[in-house]
Amino acid sequence: MRENTQDLSDFGYRERKQARDLLDLMIEEGLPDEFMDAGTTIEFNPHSGIVFLTNDHYQVAIKSGEELKMFRTCRICGAEGTEEDLEWESEHLCANCAE
Ligand SMILES: [Zn+2]
């Protein structure tokens, strides 16, 4: 099984277009406030097919509509999603696990 990659030669046509969209949004709209820019890279997950921004702090931002949104993972139950998909107590804790 292949791992996540930052090697653009592993990106297909579709993934390169997604990477371009991420860069366009980063230039035009900026990163989400919470996303720290140190070590920002574009990464592709060959299993999910998702291309996303990540950084030295293991934060993840994805394209959602015409914006970049934080994509969170709950450290307790492993739930994943944006603020629109799920309610979050804090950066790595979903609202269900906070109760
Ligand atoms: Zn949780």
Say what the pTM is: 0.90
Please give the C-alpha separations between residue 85 and each of 2, 39, 61, 70, 75, in angstroms, as whole numbers: 27, 26, 14, 11, 16
Provide the residue-wise pLDDT of the chain in tens; the chain has 99 residues: 579 999 999 999 999 999 999 999 999 999 999 999 999 999 999 998 999 999 999 999 999 999 999 999 999 999 999 999 999 999 899 999 998
At 30-48, the pLDDT tens digits run 999 999 999 999 999 999 8
Ligand 1 centroid to Cα of residue 11, in Å, is 31
Neighbours of 86 (CB within 10 A): 14
> How many angstroms is it from 90 CA to the middle of ligand 1?
10
Distance between Cα 21 and ligand 1 center (Å): 30
Number of helices (H) and strands (E), helices first, in the chain? 2, 8
- Distance of CA 99 from the midpoint of ligand 1 (Å): 10
Q: What is the pLDDT of residue 1?
A: 53
